[in-house]
A and B are shown apart, each in its own frame.
Chain A
């Protein structure tokens, strides 16, 4: 199969403040501006698909892909309900969703499309699609993040997305919705006084953004386990967005990286980053994590050990 045409990738935060209250602090406003820059870039590109991987859509039964042609609802966030409601109506590429499912299954993954009126699309996907594609000019697709999936499964999911984009000849913009450090303050704070929860989180975020700025996406993918241990609240088994983004866009460091904004969102790290495939590599190193093409499920080490 030929390489897929991925125009660029966007890494952006899931919190609703840039959508609902951009005026509440200068930082939220700057994040909103960065989303706006990305919106224009998408509009000026020849993209015919926006593919979203959202860390705020957890799944259990394999990997769920939004398959409703026009999902519509008024969403309210669990924590930030007082900031307001988020009415949405999106245009989904249902043929792509089916193709993506098929490609995921052919690589050994459990996957299904979901197409139900009133399905609760997650805060992160809503924020991203409303800000990046407000008039639904470009059809979108959203894929969930399986709670139990670890590296192999996530890499294979990314490769399935690549297969699907290539086989349909799409020109895609890849969007990963995730914070950097994800520890929020556990009490109310004034938006104007928002800051990164700790110096350690801030230092790690800046290191990650240095890699992003240098276009070193595969290096970040290789560092995922370390990032998870250092600055991710242990809600799920691993920090997966860089694995998926690299496997989807291409597992190398040949990108032009632009960090458009980095701000605190109730203590967590929110950055809007654009990665554009380019020639020439920066900072290649020897990748020591295994690459994987096909998902074979659990390896049954307990069974093997009892022989």
Chain B
């Protein structure tokens, strides 16, 4: 069996607003559009993914929060409706997803061997979180690839962002090893915003783009600092300043997604592909991808 590999890593923010604005048939709410910078960026990245041969998507989500270890989806099918608890007016999505249970079990096993507390999730009534659905829908609206969702263990809450960084990178190492041993070609998805302070009010028409802007300039400056480092291929430095960035901007990186993905990819020293940056209800959202293959790596924006 050939060695498995990570064929692309995607930073894929999941404000449900982008799915809402796309008006897919699975979502009950109707929008007049909005957040085009993000949606068009997503559309372009989805086209790139169409040109890549891969077996499964593995996604790390902040909206399946666990405190007792890291959990993995462990049943082949989940079909139900996901309603966003925070924005139920925007996101009521009927989903029908397939899970690569074999890959999930392999990652769970290797992570366990490396000392990480793990658990397979085998309850058929379990509802898939809206982070997983939003990122996966925007990257693959056809839903024709199996996925694995990994829960986010909240070390930043229990200890500190530094501990989160260490634990998430250990998990990334373990997942990379499991993927290699699986022989599969895998797309990694780190599902989250960068700066993450929300407005606590919503305009009467949520997609009214005349009302949309970053929460404050400090959040913007930090987000841009990260984008610059990503463009320069300095991912080790990004992860090194992650604890400070996370604290300063209440960033959604606190769940550990970016650290996990960068560790799994060996902290790329090549430039990230930048697909778009836009605020959603005050938070800073970046779509980016890391393509290990120099021949297909692009300067997108």
Interface residues of A (CB under 8 A from B): 57-62, 74-76, 78-79, 81-82, 84-85, 110, 114, 116-120, 122, 146, 148, 183-188, 233-235, 266
Contact = CB atoms under 8 A, between A and B. Distances in A.
Contacts of B154: 235
A78 B200 contact: no
A85 B279 CA distance: 37
A230 B202 CA distance: 34
Central interface residue in A58, A186, A233, A266, by most chain B CB within 10 Å: A186
A148 B200 contact: yes
B202 A61 contact: yes
Contacts of A186: 67-69, 117, 153, 158
A188 B68 contact: yes
A119 B127 CA distance: 11
A57 B81 CA distance: 19
B67 A118 contact: no
B99 interface: no
Contacts of A120: 83, 85, 127
A81 B123 contact: yes
Contacts of A187: 68-69, 117
Interface in B156-205: 157-158, 198, 200-202
B114 to A, nearest CB: 15
24 contacts: A57-B85, A58-B86, A61-B200, A61-B202, A62-B200, A76-B125, A78-B71, A79-B71, A81-B123, A81-B126, A82-B119, A82-B122, A116-B83, A116-B92, A117-B92, A118-B92, A120-B83, A146-B200, A184-B67, A186-B67, A186-B69, A187-B117, A188-B69, A266-B68
Ordered nearest first, which 5 A-B pairs have the shortest CB separation? A85-B125, A81-B123, A76-B126, A74-B125, A118-B81
- Is the contact region of chain A dominated by helix, strand, or loop, or is it mixed? loop
Interface residues of B, number: 33
Contacts, number: 90
Central interface residue in B67, B71, B126, B151, by most chain A CB within 10 Å: B67
Interface of B: 64-69, 71, 81, 83, 85-89, 92, 117, 119, 121-123, 125-127, 151, 153-154, 157-158, 198, 200-202, 281
A87 to B, nearest CB: 8
A116 B88 contact: yes
Contacts of B67: 79, 184, 186
A59 B200 CA distance: 9
Contact of A119 (B65, B83, B121): B83
A12 B277 CA distance: 43
Nearest to A148: B200
Contact of B201 (A82, A110, A116, A184): A110
A61 B86 CA distance: 7
B151 A60 contact: no
A78 B70 CA distance: 11
Contacts of A185: 68
Contacts of B88: 114, 116, 119
A301 to B, nearest CB: 13
Contacts of B86: 58-61
A81 B64 CA distance: 12
Given A85-B125, A235-B157, A266-B68, A119 B117 contact: no
A61 B201 CA distance: 5
B83 A76 contact: no
Contacts of B122: 81-82
